[in-house]
Structure 1
Amino acid sequence: MRSQCAVHRVNKREQNSANTGLEHQRRTANMSASYLLIAVDFGTAYSGYCFSVDANHEATLTNKTYQTDTVVLFNENQEFVEFGENALAVYTKMQSSQACRFYFFQNFKMELYTQNITENLMISAKDGKQLPAIKVFSESLHYLKEHALSTVKANVPDFQFVPQDITWVLTVPAIWNNAAKEFMRRAAKEAGLIEDILSENLILALEPEAASLWCKQLPSTGFIKEHLEGSDELKVQQQPGTRYVVVDCGGGTVDITVHEVLEDGSLNELQKASGGGWGSFSVDEKFQNFLRELFGPVVWDIYELEYPSELQKMMHNFSIQKCTENNDIYIICPYNLAKLASAVQEISSFFNQVEGVYWNEGNIKLTYSKLASFFDESIKNIVRMIKEILDTPDININFILLVGGYASNGRLREAVRKEFSSQCKILCPCESQQATAKGAIMFGTDPKIIRSRVSPMTYGVSVCKPFDPNKHNPNMISVNKTGGDCYCTGLFQRLVEKGQPVNCDDVSEFMFFPVDVDQTEACFDFFATDQSDAMYINDPGVQKVGSFVLPMPDITLGRYRGIKMEVRFGLTEIKANATDLSSGESGKTEIKFILK
């Protein structure tokens, strides 16, 4: 049975301003000690990095950016081979018999959004073979780490540094849950970016926030001039009170957040992040599903299984051409697909009854309208989500900021402009793909530039309280070891409410006491819910999301031993400190959001 972390009473307060000031000074000191700041934008479709090498972060080399495909290749012995465009080149040149033995991963970042993350999470390669997720992610990050360090040394040969001089900023989607964020921190540790899982030398930056920061300081020439007259309109306004929607359109997810400019130029988040899996890869998936319908499941499933590298080459060809505007496109039909299809019937006959698709001397011709249809569902979802935000009472949005690689697609921009240009301005940076990495440098320099965020869920811990027959469920009653006291167990003690704005400096303090006199540890189980009236941890909609254990070795005072827990909900990660006031046992506490 778990040791009860529950208590006689719970007190809550915010740290006073003096303590908050000290915290800010400590954080600033830590940041200025890092002479090298490297931001890694680990995306679903593409990954890249940029860096800053000045102790005061004034000489930011954001023009020295690197970007490549987010694909990774392992051999038949599950050993890392290549990452990025090199992995793509090696894999697509392989004979099919060899490719079937290798592990080729693409679009694997989406697994952290769609799957329930556990310690032993396995993810599938393109052909269904599986490897541990931590291996796939950590090897990818290790490659980017080594590539980044080599680039720094090549560009700044006189710059000497040790690992302790580096602060890494790793970007993650704002709509990810806490388990996904913890997973990336663990992968970064496995990759050698940090030695300690709680190291402050790794900062997680939320992708739309980073992109927002970069775009906020761009001149008018930094934005695509489209359906606008006059350069004054092509700029993010800096006036206090300006409100804008950031729509980060990536390969896997579309992340949407709402920011307001404050008096000092920092930003407040006005609504919890929203979005979904509507990125550019959803268009590729529509095309691949269409091919399966076109050639039939028998032909397609054999082709997909036996010729994975050839299929990958065809899909890569499509991904390049899909952004073509106002023109038909031609996709070369691979030899083995044509061979399998021809064994069933004359290949041109597959196209006879299909509108907008033609067989053209070894090519699959897609009309512009047919190609556009693959974008429809993705664009409709993005427009719908933006509309929900703009329809919020008293939201008063001044403009919409489209960022991310998918934002470079003219169809998407036109759809957003057509729907919302009468309500607010629409802006898209010229280098929309690189906005996140460059903005992550700015965030790493000053993480408190995002002044407050909105809690996406109601978070709480499981506690016990003295049993009250007028309030508590009799099925939740428990007696402590001495048999002298009855407690109600499994009570949901709220720490922060869904939709509650939380300042980045806010530290919420809670006091707990043990139930048993000889208790030598306190186990804190964290829960989250969308419900506003949850009372017990087993109420509908309440889900366990994390836990940590605090040692309490000194039992001299029995049940009169205070446990002080400090939690920060206003950062990109939930952070906690816990102290056993009797023994002085204290320290940063890793809340384990990845459950077994």
Structure 2
Amino acid sequence: SRTILIKDDKGKEAPALDLFAQVIRYLKNHLLSALDTKGTTVNNKDIHWVLTVPAIWTDSAKQFMREAANKAGILTEQLTICLEPEAASLYCQHLPTTKLMGNPGTQSFLSNSSGTKYMIIDLGGGTADITIHQKQCDGTLKELHRPTGGPWGGTKVDEAFHQMIIKIVGASCFQKFKDDFKADDLDIHRELETKKRTIKPESNSKITIKLPVSLVTTFEEETGEKMKEVIQQMQYANKMTWQTDKLRMEADLFKELFKEPVNMLVEHLQELMKRDNLTDISTLLMVGGFSESPMMLDAVMKSFPDKKVIVPEDAGLAVLKGAVLFGHKPQSITIRKARYTYGINISPPFVRGDHSPARKVTIDGVDRVKDVFKKYIQCDQDIRVGEAVSGRHVTIKSNQSEMLLKIFASEDPSPKYVTDNSCEYLGKVVVKLPEAKERLKVDVKMIFGETELMVEAKESTTGKVYSSYFDFL
């Protein structure tokens, strides 16, 4: 929603669209300034910007990001929205084999022939995004399954660690620490980022985590107790010591923090691979910062011993570098799976037994049913870049001055009405009509570009064309 508000850490609200726009504007200006400093002056109008988003985001979320970018001074025609795992997939096509890590067999990834299927697992901070590609004869990629995933990124480990700390110091004490020592709280996040990438499945020596002294002093001032004594009375007595700014714990206790993201990811991947067209996937490509965690790599390799598991060097930068490649050659991915069923609301003649009487309306003496979903594209259908799906709409009133085409998306393969819970309103195309007593025809096309759905409506009498764009990735 364009009007949604976000609260800061003090409860102050601000429009989310404005905040996102400010972040994008900062990044844009930072790049232009860096180029200028190096003596490479480039005008904004000469740059095509690529904005990456998680694969599991909804159409409306992607549309929101596009509008935020527009507000930040990036024109629609200068902007492409790109799915993060797609970008990573393109990047790994261009890597020399020396830049690939993983289990035995990783060296053969780049020489995979056409028809080879592989899964991209993008593990970021907040989400895990999964996309499945198949190499085509012409070197392009075909998407075999619509993007899936969930909130199983690296922050799940952070959350588990915070819950462990809360068990020791209490929720109110931890909140007071976060309120009073914001910089110290950020230091905890930075420390965890380092530890997440260094802990290994075979680690058995104690892990030392540097924590701010202010956390201990806050606890002792609030409770009147000594941290060392409190630890000795808890379930962690034999697994942990905490003195001033050092928390030392058994390696197994720290490994437990990975349990939820590991289990959720592996279960999801196992379910995906049971699908008929995905049973013969040969390679798992792990990208994103959280993929650099040996714990995550080991879990995937052990769960799928018959697959090649690959982690590119600098996995955390795979999306960034792949986005540049996508911007230069967006046609690299030629066939995608429709994530949603797309359609337009219509009011056809009422048919007793087929339609709900509660939806019956009378227009120009004809009994009709309102809000029927006219399907153009069905979810999981293959859609080729540039492909158009056509339909015809007819006016339902005499002297109708315009036709309002409302575009909807649904996760249901066959929604009946646009008011069904599964349906989401994307936007509209307004077609102006000439004066006429007879019924007028409007021919509609849904055209799939690299990253957008274009809805084009042509009024048959005048031949005038109206169109609008929607993100459809």
- Tell me the equivalent position of 2:5: 122
What amino acid does structure 2 have at the position aligned with 1:228? P
**Does 2:278 match 1:400?**
no
**Does 2:114 match 1:236?**
no
What amino acid does structure 1 have at the position aligned with 2:356? N
Structure 2: where are the runs of 5+ without partners?
Answer: none
Deviation at 1:583, TM superposition (A): 4.4
Deviation at 1:476, TM superposition (A): 1.6
> What is the SS of the residue equivalent to 2:146?
strand
Aligned 1:43-442 pairs, distance under 5 A: 118-155=1-38, 157=40, 161-194=42-75, 199-224=76-101, 226-228=102-104, 232-233=107-108, 235-325=109-199, 326=203, 327-343=205-221, 344=223, 345-352=225-232, 353-355=234-236, 356-395=239-278, 396-421=280-305, 423-442=306-325
Structure 1 residues 382 and 563, CA gap change in structure 2 (3 angstroms): same
TM, length-normalised to structure 2: 0.91
> What is the SS of the residue equivalent to 1:523?
strand
Tell me, yes or no, if the aligned pair for 1:322 and 1:371 is still in contact at 8 Å: no
- Tell me the equivalent position of 1:502: 383
Instruction: Write 1 or 2 for the structure with the bigger share of helix.
Output: 2
In the alignment, the residues of structure 1 paired with residue 153 and residue 12 of structure 2 have an alpha-carbon distance, to the nearest angstrom, of: 24
Tell me, yes or no, if the aligned pair for 1:178 and 1:573 is still in contact at 8 Å: no
Deviations 1:75-124 (A, max 9, x none): xxxxxxxxxxxxxxxxxxxxxxxxxxxxxxxxxxxxxxxxxxx1111123
Structure 1 residues 317 and 277, CA gap change in structure 2 (3 angstroms): same
Q: Number of aligned residue pairs: give it.
A: 462
> What is the SS of the residue equivalent to 1:518?
coil
In the alignment, the residues of structure 2 paired with residue 526 and residue 302 of structure 1 have an alpha-carbon distance, to the nearest angstrom, of: 48
Deviation at 1:571, TM superposition (A): 3.8
Structure 1 residues 227 and 538, CA gap change in structure 2 (3 angstroms): closer
What amino acid does structure 1 have at the position aligned with 2:26? Y
**Does 2:440 match 1:564?**
no
> What is the SS of the residue equivalent to 1:305?
helix
Stretch moving more, 260-269 or 323-332: 323-332
- Tell me the equivalent position of 2:452: 573
- Tell me the equivalent position of 1:456: 339
Structure 1 residues 557 and 278, CA gap change in structure 2 (3 angstroms): same
Deviations 1:143-186 (A, max 9, x none): 111122233344563x6x54332211111111111111011111
Deviation at 1:559, TM superposition (A): 4.8
In the alignment, the residues of structure 2 paired with residue 240 and residue 156 of structure 1 have an alpha-carbon distance, to the nearest angstrom, of: 43
Structure 1 residues 487 and 227, CA gap change in structure 2 (3 angstroms): closer
With a CA cutoff of 8 Å and minimum separation of 6, indicate the structure with the bigger relative contact order. Answer: 1
> What is the SS of the residue equivalent to 1:417?
helix
In the alignment, the residues of structure 2 paired with residue 516 and residue 328 of structure 1 have an alpha-carbon distance, to the nearest angstrom, of: 77
Deviation at 1:449, TM superposition (A): 1.2
- Tell me the equivalent position of 1:36: none
In the alignment, the residues of structure 2 paired with residue 248 and residue 237 of structure 1 have an alpha-carbon distance, to the nearest angstrom, of: 22
- Tell me the equivalent position of 1:512: 393
In the alignment, the residues of structure 1 paired with residue 289 and residue 56 of structure 2 have an alpha-carbon distance, to the nearest angstrom, of: 18
Deviations 1:387-413 (A, max 9, x none): 122222242111100011111111100
- Give percent identity, aligned residues only: 27
Structure 1 residues 457 and 436, CA gap change in structure 2 (3 angstroms): same
Deviation at 1:589, TM superposition (A): 1.0
Deviations 1:362-417 (A, max 9, x none): 42223221211111101111111221222222421111000111111111001111
What amino acid does structure 2 have at the position aligned with 1:575? M
Tell me, yes or no, if the aligned pair for 2:62 and 2:471 is still in contact at 8 Å: no
Tell me, yes or no, if the aligned pair for 1:567 and 1:574 is still in contact at 8 Å: yes
Aligned residues: CA RMSD: 2.2
Structure 1: where are the runs of 5+ without partners?
Answer: 1-117
Structure 1 residues 310 and 394, CA gap change in structure 2 (3 angstroms): closer
Tell me, yes or no, if the aligned pair for 1:127 and 1:304 is still in contact at 8 Å: no
> What is the SS of the residue equivalent to 1:273?
strand
> What is the SS of the residue equivalent to 1:433?
helix
Tell me, yes or no, if the aligned pair for 2:392 and 2:443 is still in contact at 8 Å: yes
